[in-house]
Structure 1
Amino acid sequence: MSRTAHTSVPVHPLLAERWSPRSFDVSHELSDEQLTALLEAARWAASGFNMQPWRFIVGRRGDQTFKVVSDALIGFNQAWAGNASALVAAVACERLDDGAPHPTAPYETGLAVAQLTVQAHAEGLHIHQMGGFDAEQLVTAFEIPAGFRPLAVIAVGTVAEADLLADASLRALESSPRQRRPLTETCFSGTWGESTVLPTVTGQ
Structure 2
Amino acid sequence: MIITTEEDQIRLGNIADTEYEIYALLKQRYSPRIFREEKLKSGHIRQLFEAARWAASSFNRQPWRFIYAEKGSEAYDKMVDCLSDFNKSWAVNAPFLLLTAYKEKTEDGKENFHALHDLGLSLGNMTTQAQYLDIALHHMAGIDWEKAQKVFNVPEGYHISTAIAIGYYGGNMEDLSEDLQESELAERTRMPQKDFAFKGEWKH
Is 1:86–2:96 an aligned residue pair? yes
The correspondence for 1:5, drawn from 6, 16, 21, is: 16
Match of 2:123 in 1: 113
Q: TM-score scaled by structure 2?
A: 0.91
SS at match of 2:148: helix
Aligned-partner Cα distance in 2 for 1:86–1:139: 19
Is the contact made by 2:82 and 2:143 (CA closer than 8 Å) also made in structure 1?
A: yes
Question: 1:98 Cα deviation (Å)?
Answer: 2.7
Aligned residue pairs total 193
Match of 2:63 in 1: 53
The correspondence for 2:149, drawn from 115, 139, 142, is: 139
Match of 1:192 in 2: 202
Structure 1: state its 5+ residue gaps.
Answer: 195-204
Aligned-partner Cα distance in 2 for 1:42–1:161: 26
Aligned-partner Cα distance in 2 for 1:13–1:40: 21
Is the contact made by 2:134 and 2:169 (CA closer than 8 Å) also made in structure 1?
A: no
Aligned-partner Cα distance in 1 for 2:178–2:100: 29
Is the contact made by 1:162 and 1:174 (CA closer than 8 Å) also made in structure 2?
A: no
Q: TM-score scaled by structure 1?
A: 0.91
Question: 1:163 Cα deviation (Å)?
Answer: 2.8
Deviation per residue, 1:20-72 (Å, 9 max, x gap): 001122x2110100100001100000011111000000111111221111110
Of the structure 1 ranges 60-69 and 171-180, higher mean CA displacement relative to structure 2 is found in: 60-69
Aligned-partner Cα distance in 2 for 1:165–1:172: 13
Deviation per residue, 1:89-146 (Å, 9 max, x gap): 1101011123210000000001001111111110011110000010011100111111
Aligned-partner Cα distance in 2 for 1:98–1:143: 24
Question: 1:160 Cα deviation (Å)?
Answer: 3.3
Is the contact made by 1:23 and 1:164 (CA closer than 8 Å) also made in structure 2?
A: no
Question: 1:162 Cα deviation (Å)?
Answer: 5.9
SS at match of 1:128: strand
Cα RMSD, aligned residues only? 1.3
Aligned-partner Cα distance in 1 for 2:172–2:198: 38
SS at match of 1:108: helix
Match of 1:157 in 2: 167
Aligned-partner Cα distance in 1 for 2:152–2:125: 25
Aligned-partner Cα distance in 2 for 1:11–1:190: 24
